[in-house]
Copies of this chain bind each other. A is one copy, B any other.
Amino acid sequence: MATYTLINNDFIPATEASVLVTDLALYRGYGIFDFFKTIDSAPVFFEDHLDRFYNSAAEMRLPVDKSQDELKAMIFELMKKNDIANSGIRITLTGGYSPDGYAIAKPNMIITQQPLTINNDVKGIKLITHSHQRQLPHVKTLDYLMAIWLQPKVAEKGVDDILYYSHGIVRETPRANFFIVTHNNEVITTANNILKGIVRKNLLTIPGNGFTISERDITLDDLRQCKEAFITSSTKNVLPVIEIDGRVISGGAPGEVSVELGWKLSEIHR
C-alpha cells in the first residue's frame, strides 16, 4: 500500500511529494516543524505537539490556515489512509513561494508519516560537548546546519551525539533535552536558550515521581560533577548518557534515577 504525504489539502503518494524550488524553506532555510510519534495508532502527547507547532508558526510569522481541530482531523485522515500503527509524523510549515526569494509568502504545510521503531536496546550514549548557541532556540525551526556539519566530528570521536553549551552553560543536544542527576538525587534540566521538548515538559510534571525535578542553568562544572545524566526526546524517551567528553558517568551504565524516570515516562505515554 502506498504511503501518502499531505501537502496543504492534497494527499500525494510520498514518493512524489514535492514543492517548487522557490519555497523559502529551500531558498533561505525559513520554516518550522513539529514531530510526534504514534503508538498503536494513537498520537503521543498530541495536544502538546500541536500547541508547540502553532507557537513556532506564530513566532516565525507563518500563518496556519487551519484551526487546531481541523489540523487534527486531517492528521487522523492521513493516519487512516496510511495505516502505520507505530509511526513518526512530521508537520512542516515553510515560508512559501516567495516572489522575491526573501519575503514570507503563503506557507506550505507538509505532513509526512513514516514507520518508527524505537530502539529500547540502547543502554546508554556517549556525548561530546561543542560550543554553539542555536539561533531562535525556543522555536522548532528547520535549522540543523551545525548538527549535520558536526557529524564527522561525532564519528571521529566514536560518540553518539553532540551536547551544545554556550558561555559555560549547557544547552541541549541537537534533537533532545538534557538532564543531570546530582549526588543528592536532585534532577535538573537546562532552563534557558533551548527548545523545550514535550517529553521534558511531561517529565517535569509527573505527579508523585519521588524526585525533585527542577529547571535551572547547568554549568560545565555541574556536568563534570554529576552522578547521572540523560537526554529526552520523542524518539529517545529517557535515554541515559554514560560518557561526556571521555569522562565515564555512573560507572558506564544507566543510572538508577534515569532508569526509574524512563519507567515513569512510559506509564504516562498517552
Contacts and interface: CB of A to CB of B under 8 A. Distances in A.
A104 interface: yes
Chain A residues touching B, range: 35 or more
Interface string A53-75: 00000001100000000000000
A248 interface: no
Interface in A207-226: none
A136 B145 contact: yes
Contacts of A145: 28-30, 135-136, 141, 143
A21 B146 contact: no
How many copies altogether? 2
A263 interface: no
A69 to B, nearest CB: 25
Contacts of A89: none
A122 interface: no
Interface stretch (A12-20, A38-46, A194-202): A12-20
Interface of A: 5, 7, 15-31, 60-61, 92, 94-95, 102-104, 110, 112, 132, 135-136, 141-149, 151-152
